[in-house]
Amino acid sequence: MKILFVNIKELIQVRTEPISFVSGKEMKELPSIKNAFLLIENDLIKQFGVMTNCPNLAVDKTIDATGKIIMPAWCDSHTHLVYAGNREGEFVDKINGLSYEEIANKGGGILNSATKLTATSADDLYQQSKERLDEVISLGTGAIEIKSGYGLSLESELKMLRVIKRLKDNYPIAIKATFLGAHAVPKKYKDNKDGYLQLLITELLPIIAKENLATYIDVFCETGYFSVADTELILKAGQQYGLTPKIHVNQFTSIGGVQAGVKYNALSVDHLEVMKYVDFEALKNTKTMPVALPSCSYYLSIPYTPARKIIDNGLPLALATDYNPGSTPSGNMNFVVATACIKMKMTPEEAINAATINGAYAMGLEKTVGTITVGKKANLILTKPIHSIASIPYNFGSNKIEQVFLNGKMM
Ligand code: NIG
Ligand code: FE
């Protein structure tokens, strides 16, 4: 199956040489071709260039993209998309003035979602999650990471991870699974956090490894949740089972989580709303990707990750949604990109690099998605007619996407 896109107003994020990620000043550069063509064959990008070089060949379909832009589909490297029900009650508590911490302390928060998930069958959980996945695909997401962490028991964590696996088996979108057993201490282990950590390490990890249910291991390293020592214990155990760290750090407090991540070669450290000088320093010259989650800051009214300081320090930055029922009930990467520009002062070019190739790197998928490169997956966003790529963040809240292609197929 060959599809030829012609008269593309602008083809964005074209990279003839493969790259892993972009950092610092490079993030401002978003290479593109104006008045372009793009040829895809089956699931892969085959050829692209200026219209004057467009090949004259027999194809199955020609799509005229006059006035429209084509770019790689979004790469969302941090979500908790598999969850049960919702936390709309807490949403109202929040409007009435309670903080995230106060809601958690009165029995809401992650434990509330864990109770709901435990009471939900695997089939129901799959159906609920599938609806969210369909929605984010229609909003342009072409690769996604999904975490466990609302189970908090042997059975329920496995239920979540098996639902993620089922989505992976049934969908064309690339899905990476992360084991986040250390998301909160469940009620049953209220006074025995170490006992819970041992359950994760001695009982869950061997099954996860045996059934190949996760690639990454995560911990909510935060005051009141898991300490740096707990984090190191879990990361070390995860690594023994072949899982790579990708962790929640510095959402509310800077307690050394970034340093722990770097020490254990984390692929990414995510959140980073609260950053000290030592946290920036720890990330320099490492392979660990900082990840910002601006819709979480927006929803919780907490500080935004200091993107300018991160990038101006020469570091890379990825953007992701954090889609979850408690701190970010939205999986819309277009909104993330808009919020990054509007609130974090990233340029559209920086935000798009952060939401494509850098997000791909933060999932270990940089060789297959995240740029328009020959041989990569044909995971594409075809926009409606728009003025320029800046229209996506500029017209925040409107949907500029006309069509999404995953593995070369129209969604
Ligand atoms: O990434 N911060 C920890 N975990 C999620 C939120 C969890 C919840 O409130 O359900 C996050 O924001
Ligand atoms: Fe998260």
Note the pLDDT tens digit of each residue in 240-297: 999 999 999 999 999 999 999 999 999 999 999 999 999 999 999 999 999 999 999 9
Neighbours of ion ligand 2 (CB under 5 A): 322
Ligand 1 atom closest to the CA of 271, numbered from 1 = 1
Q: 29: domain CATH number?
A: 2.30.40.10
Q: Are residues 192 and 81 in the same domain?
A: yes
Structural domain boundaries enclosing 49:
2-72+370-410
Distance between start and end Cα atoms, the chain: 15
**Pocket of ligand 1 contains residue 112 by CB under 6 Å:** no
Find where tokens 């709303």 sit: 273
Q: Which ligand is nearest to the CA of 183?
A: 1
Q: pLDDT tens, 381-394? A: 999 999 999 999 99
Would you state the pLDDT for residue 54?
97
* The ligand 1 atom nearest the CA atom of 83: 10
Residue-level pLDDT at 105: 87
pLDDT grade for 69, boundaries at 50, 70 and 90: very high
The residue among 186, 63, 220 whose CA lies nearest residue 117 is 186
Same domain (yes/no): 116, 247: yes
Strand partners, 216: 178, 244
Cα(326) to centroid(ligand 1), Å: 6
Residue where a domain stops, chosen among 336, 361, 386: 361
∠ CA 298-382-76 to the nearest 5 degrees? Answer: 40
83 lines ligand 1 (CB under 6 A): no
Distance 343 CA to ligand 2 centre (A): 20
Edge-to-edge strand ranges of the sheet holding 268-271: 74-76, 141-147, 174-182, 216-221, 244-249, 268-271, 289-292, 318-319
pLDDT in tens, 72-98: 999 999 999 999 999 999 999 999 999
User: Could you report the per-residue pLDDT of 3-34, keeping only the tens digit for each?
Assistant: 999 999 999 999 999 999 999 999 999 999 99
Q: Do 386 and 344 fall within a single domain?
A: no
User: Which numbered atom of ligand 1 lies nearest the CA of 112?
Assistant: 10
Do 340 and 393 belong to one domain?
no
pLDDT at 104 over 90: no
For 120-156, how does the pLDDT look when each residue is reduced to its tens digit (9 = 90+)? Answer: 999 999 999 999 999 999 999 999 999 999 999 999 9
Bridge pairing between strands 74-76 and 68-72: unpaired
Separation CA 398–CA 348 (nearest Å): 16
Verify that 21 and 79 share a domain, yes or no. Answer: no
User: Which protein residue has the closest C-alpha to ligand 1 atom 11?
Assistant: 327
Q: Calculate how far, in angstroms, residue 380's C-alpha sits from the geometric centre of ligand 1.
A: 29
Q: What is the pLDDT of residues 165-216, one digit of tens each?
A: 999 999 999 999 999 999 999 999 999 999 999 999 999 999 999 999 999 9
- Looking at the CA of 250, name the nearest ligand: 1
Judgement on whether residues 199 and 269 belong to the same structural domain of the protein: yes
pLDDT at 328 > cutoff 90 = yes
**Residue among 178, 220, 300 to mutate when testing ligand 1 (max atoms within 8 A of CB):** 220
pLDDT at position 100, please? 86
Residue 172 sits in the same domain as residue 36: no
216-221 and 244-249 beta bridge pairing? parallel
65 and 82 belong to one structural domain: no
Which of the ligands is closest to the CA of residue 103?
1
Ligand 2 centroid, distance to 342 Cα (angstroms): 22
Binning pLDDT at 50, 70 and 90, where does residue 107 land? confident
Domain count within the chain: 2
Indicate the pTM of the whole model: 0.97
User: Does one domain contain both 265 and 226?
Assistant: yes
Domain with 308 in it: what CATH number?
Answer: 3.20.20.140
Residue among 154, 163, 141, 131 nearest 78 (CA): 141
* Closest CA to ligand 1's atom 3: 220
Q: Is the CB of 250 under 6 A from ligand 1?
A: no
**Bridge partners, 271 (sequence order):** 249
Regarding whether 335 and 280 lie in a shared domain, the answer is: yes
